[in-house]
Each structure stands twice: as structure tokens, then as C-alpha cells.
Structure 1
Amino acid sequence: MISDGNDAEDGAVGADPSLDARHADKMAKKKAARDRIMATKSGEKGLIIVHTGAGKGKSSSAFGMIVRCVAHGFPCAVVQFIKGAWDTGERRLLTGHFGDLCQFHAMGEGFTWETQDRARDIAAAQAGWEKAKQLISDPSLRMVVLDEINIALRYDYLAVADVVEFLTTSKPPMTHVVLTGRNAKEELIEIADLVTEMTLVKHPFRSGIKAQPGVEF
């Protein structure tokens, strides 16, 4: 018999019936346990979701959920607190193809070090929050993303107490609100139903690579 030199690889998978049987039994038990857990999860509610941390992916994750809403035909909205001056891919997509389902409000004028005008930044953040409250109060909207609002809160352009009070007392019960940006306030984390912290491991910016279309915007 002539060997092609890959005998070990050819017989590595599925060669041990007892191993396959143990694996099948283990997976069956895991599925049964998961089914029992899922059977207890029948409730639904509008979630307060926070994406924070130094790593990339906070806004990207939020826009991924907006795309899901659009795919399901759910009306939704986005308020951008910082990146309003940017021509982003998500803005092009949502306004150009799904404007009937997703309202997009770019209220910011850029990062604070770009404007260098605190009063102007505060005014833009306040205008963004007023628009956000209007949108969140509309029960026909399934989801509202407040992109980079955590930055506005970090610099005290908005009062976190006002944001927390509104979300806990005035948000319709089935409306999801997603708040993004690093350095989320503890008060916001406390009331959130879902908090994810993006951890920075490596970033191309540190190697001299600039922000690129399709990756950052």
C-alpha cells in the first residue's frame, strides 16, 4: 500500500468510536442543560445597553444591532454625539438605503480636541440629548443608539443624573437604548441591563496606521 504521508491526519478525526460516543453523550447533556435554562427565560423588556472600554468595537457593535433591527423591519434611530462631522460608512448606509426605518441624527461636531470650544461642545451635546429624549419617548421605535454619549458624559457636557433619571423613569418599557463610548459613568453602569467592556490588546494606530474607511468609519 502506498502512503501519501498523511496517514496520521487521515485517521485523526473520527477514528475512535468510543471517543465519538463520549463526545455525543457530553454534547447531549450540555444541550439538555441549556434547554432547561432557556425554558426559564421567557420574559422580554427594553434593555439599557452600555458598550464601553478602551478597545475598538463599541460603536460597531451598536450599529450591528441597528442593522438587525432594520433587517427585522423594526423602526429605530441613531443619535451621534461626537462623530457628527465625520462621513461614516454606517451613516451612508442607513440614510441612503434605510431612511424609512432608521432615523439618523448627527449632532456632534467632532472630538473635543478638534472643536477646542467647550461652550460649543456643551451646546451640541445638549441638543443631542434633547433629540435623544424625543426619540426614546416614541414607543414606535424599537431601538435608539446614543453613539459616543459616554464621552459627552465624561466631560460633563451632560449631567449623568439627568440621563439616568430619564432612562429609568421615562423610557418606554419595550424600547432598547444603546449607549457607547469609553469611560462609562458608574451611575450608568449601575442601571444598565447589559454592559460590555471592550479591552484593548493591540491597535494599528500605535504602529503608525491611520483610521481607515471600512474599519474605523
Structure 2
Amino acid sequence: MDDVNAHHKEKMKKIKAARDRMMESKTEEKGLIIVHTGAGKGKSSSGFGMIMRCIAHGMPCAVVQFIKGNWATGERDFLRKKFAEECRFIVSGEGFTWETQDRERDIAAARAGWEAAKGLIRDPAVRMVLLDEINIALRYDYLDIDEVVDFLKQEKPEMTHVVLTGRNAKPALIEAADLVTEMTLVKHPFRTGIKAQPGVEF
């Protein structure tokens, strides 16, 4: 057992030395464009986890929620009730596209959300803005992808983080982003007849 422990300790020392050398070379800080996409669950959940981190670090933040509309979500209720001063929360949209069945209304709601988002992103006091499900609005061309990408590249303050979630992120957005995570669907209870449940889905 002593030989096993000694071998493990030596191996970890080498890993730590390599890690320390790598970390010494990482000195730059900047506001990131972050994309969470893919068919798997967890895109919005991850974005809201980052909002929780911001609040814990005393970093003012904001959420603009596209598409979901008046669908009651735990994260919206929690942030509005407990952290309204730390995190501004704007809902844009009247529900999923198959619920509204009105493209013009969906476009108007998405445009209103994007205008609000631009104001929040431009605000130097706001350190992170989560654009929840904006990729859906972009997928259906409710918003112009070139306009969104150009704004993020040219007008986003240097130290502001912007997180964009939703399936089917467009290639231009992926290209512009600093960090892209694709959630892969392996298994989902919905496929076996289990409905969306509080605390898991919303």
C-alpha cells in the first residue's frame, strides 16, 4: 500500500507542476460571449447557475427570458422574490411558438426583448446578462443573427459577460462566441411518458 501511495503522490506532484505552469500563462481577463446549445437538457439551468454565482460575488446581473413568456418558472420567481436588486429579470414573449401561433406577435415580443437586452448589456454596472432561449428566436428569424452578432462584437462592454441559451445556435453566433457548450441528449424521461416537473424542468 505504501508503494501505491508513493506512486500516487509522485504522479500528482507532476500533474500539479504542469497545472501551475499552465495557470501562470493565463493572465488575461475579458467579458465573454458564452453559448449553451444542443438537444440535451441543462442549457438554461447552467445559465441560471452562472447568475447565482454572479450574485454570490456581488456582481450585478440581468436576465432577459425569450419565448417562455408567462410560463411560471422557479428561477424567475426565486430571483424576483429574493434577489430583485441584484438581478433584473425581464420576460419577453407570450409562450412557446406552438402556443401563440402568431408569428407577428412572436417577432414583436422578441424585438422588445432584444431592445431591453441591448440596454442591459450597454449598462456598465451590469456584469452579466443571460439571454435565455434567445437561440430559439434566432432560429425562427424573429431576430436578425447578423445584428445580434455585430452588437455583441462591437457594443458589448469589454468586461461584460453575455450568456445565450437555446437549441440550434446559429453558426455565426458559435463563431463569435468565446465559450460554446453543446448539451448532448442521451436519455430523457419525456420520451417514456413522464411530464415536465417542477424543480427539474421549470
TM-score by length of 2: 0.99
In the TM superposition, what are the counterparts of 1:95-174 in structure 2 within 5 Å? 95-174=80-159
> 1:78 aligned to 2:77?
no
Paired AA for residue 138 in structure 1: D
Structure 1 unmatched runs, 5+: 1-15
Cross-structure match for 1:5? none
Cross-structure match for 1:54? 39
Question: Deviations 1:167-215 (Å, cap 9, x if unpaired)?
Answer: 0000000000000000000000001000000000000000101110000
Question: Deviations 1:50-87 (Å, cap 9, x if unpaired)?
Answer: 00000000000000000000111111000001112111
Q: Which runs of at least 4 in structure 1 moved beyond 3 Å after TM superposition?
A: none
Cross-structure match for 2:74? 89
Which entry has the higher C-alpha Rg, 1 or 2? 1
User: Quick one: percent identity of the two aligned structures?
Assistant: 73
Does the CA contact (< 8 Å) of 2:69 and 2:96 recur in 1? no
Q: In 2, distance between residues paired with 1:152 and 1:178?
A: 15
Deviation at 1:114, TM superposition (A): 0.6
In the TM superposition, what are the counterparts of 1:6-25 in structure 2 within 5 Å? 16-25=1-10
Q: In 1, distance between residues paired with 2:7 and 2:181?
A: 35
Cross-structure match for 2:173? 188
State which drifts further: 77-86 or 48-57: 77-86
* Paired residue secondary structure (1:85): coil
Please, what is the CA RMSD of the aligned residues? 0.5
Q: How many residues align?
A: 202
Question: Deviations 1:87-138 (Å, cap 9, x if unpaired)?
Answer: 1110011000100110000111111011000000000000000000010000
Cross-structure match for 1:203? 188
Q: In 2, distance between residues paired with 1:50 and 1:215?
A: 21
